[in-house]
Amino acid sequence: MDLARLTMDQIKGFTCALCGTRLYADRPLGTFTATEGLCTEPTELWACAPTCSALPPR
């Protein structure tokens, strides 16, 4: 997971880190740390629960 490619909403857990859908039920993906850029602190990411039901945005 490359934090530099995620949106701020995804990093903050407002939207799914995998597909970008706004989260209503979520599951933890684990903690990720970027080696460069704005998000060099360990960041916990979230995704749709139980699985992503929407296709990734184009």
Which residue number, 1 or 19, has a Cβ lying nearer to Zn ion?
A: 19
Which residue number, 1 or 21, has a Cβ lying nearer to Zn ion?
A: 21
User: Measured from the CB of residue 57, what is the shortest distance to Zn ion in angstroms?
Assistant: 10
Which residue number, 24 or 35, has a Cβ lying nearer to Zn ion?
A: 24
For the chain, give the number of residues.
58
Question: What is the rounded radius of gyration, in angstroms, for the C-alpha atoms of the chain?
Answer: 11
Per CB under 5 A, residues contacting Zn ion are: 16, 18-19, 21, 47-48, 52
- Report how far apart, in Å, the C-alpha atoms of 28 and of each of 18, 35, 37, 46, 53 are: 11, 21, 23, 5, 16
